[in-house]
Amino acid sequence: MTKIIYPGQTIGIIGGGQLGRMMAMAAKEAGFKIAVLEPTMDSPGGQVADIRIVAAYDDEAALEELAEISDVITYEFENIDYEGLKRLTEIAYVPQGAELVRITQDRVTEKAAIVEAGCPVAPYVVAANYKELVASINKVGFPCIVKTARGGYDGKGQQLLKCADDLPLAEELFTHSVCIAEGFVPFMKEISVIVQRNGQGETCCLPVGENIHVHHILHETIVPARITDITAEAAAKAAAKIADYLNLVGTLAIEMFVLENGEIIINELAPRPHNSGHYSIEACNISQFTQHIRAVCGWPLRQPKLWAKSIMVNVLGQHVMPLTNSISKYPDWSIHLYGKAEAKVNRKMGHVTIMTDDIEKTLQQINESSIWSL
């Protein structure tokens, strides 16, 4: 049963990273109180919370405390303990449930769900061990990518195999979990769709973003994606289809490949606000974070509109100093830094959103700034 959560009530968030921080800030604008469960004391989310519970995500006593003080509970990332979340749904109001996390934190169940929803994926095989991989690899052929079924992000837990001689490179991955091997898709672009749905089944998609990665880490999201209207429409339809199949409440980010003929292949799902949707804070009439709060609180959703073409650029540890030294040069840039204590190399520290009339000119300005040259 869908409840309506009102301003003044408390939203509990599992996870205190940057997504939890931006979620909390959006909720506080509407007058909600925020409780954050996070193992580190001075987390980005904890800095803006009313109540901080400093404990491990699977700490039963801490989850019970969060349940006691929260009127609704959400989460900012999918790699949380499924069993703990399932128990939490029995003692607290968790409109997203636990099933979505169970499905999306394992690539095997995730792929199966996408196929069952009637959406296309790259050809793949599941292998419980290295011997099974060798025996079944010809079903997908070369080149292919072997990925651990569980864990792995920003390119970790993956191995590209160009030919049969490369097979031993994947053997180590099986020490972590079962793996899947995906046939390599000759894609032209990577895009993502952020789909959001409330308990009444009302569904909205943010404008499709085009993603550019550097060293497997998202570097830029360009909105609207430089794709045809037919492809954008197909991407949004697929996103809505998957959201309905999963009975989504909240937010689902869906990464897709665009083929040369404009068709799409679904790559991965993330059941939360996503890095590629950060542009929506400035560039849309509603941000992914505000929409997420509305969805889990049982409020009606707002149909997103893009105010202007935009580029979101990630700020990693090595970019913080050159960016802050350049603030006076770029008055039109919206700078977000997440309050993380240490600027480590390749650690996501913030992002910049630039609204523009000319995408190509702005991409050139970003390159010429030399901020992201490292």
Q: How confident is the model at residue 66 (pLDDT cuts 50, 70, 90)?
A: very high
| pLDDT at residue 1, rounded to an integer | 73
In terms of DSSP H, where are the helices of 269-355? 280-283, 288-296, 320-324
* CATH node for 187-368: 3.30.470.20
Q: How far is CA 5 from CA 16, 201, 268, in A?
A: 21, 17, 31
* Fold of domain 123-183: Dna Ligase; domain 1 (3.30.1490)
Q: How many CB atoms lie within 10 A of CB 22?
A: 25
Is residue 197 packed enough to be buried (19+ CB in 10 Å), middle (13-18) or exposed (0-12)?
A: buried
- Mean residue pLDDT of the chain comes to 96
Delimiting residues of CATH 3.30.1490.20 domain(s) in the chain: 123-183
Delimiting residues of CATH 3.30.470.20 domain(s) in the chain: 187-368
Mean pLDDT value of segment 3-16: 98
Mean pLDDT value of segment 72-89: 93
Indicate the residue type of 129: N
| pLDDT at residue 145, rounded to an integer | 95
Delimiting residues of CATH 3.40.50.20 domain(s) in the chain: 10-94
Residue range 233-285, pLDDT digits in tens? 999 999 999 999 999 999 999 999 999 999 999 999 999 999 999 999 999 99
**Could you tell me where the beta strands, DSSP code E, fall in 149-186?**
158-161, 179-183
Q: How confident is the model at residue 118 (pLDDT cuts 50, 70, 90)?
A: very high
| pLDDT at residue 126, rounded to an integer | 97
Residue range 128-186, pLDDT digits in tens? 999 999 999 999 999 999 999 987 666 678 999 999 999 999 999 999 889 999 999 99
Q: What are φ and ψ of residue 236, in 5° steps?
A: -65, -40
Place of tokens 């006691």: 68
Strand order in the sheet with 179-183: 124-127, 179-183, 144-148, 158-161
* CATH node for 10-94: 3.40.50.20
Nearest residue to 73 (alpha-carbon basis) of 92, 52, 91: 92
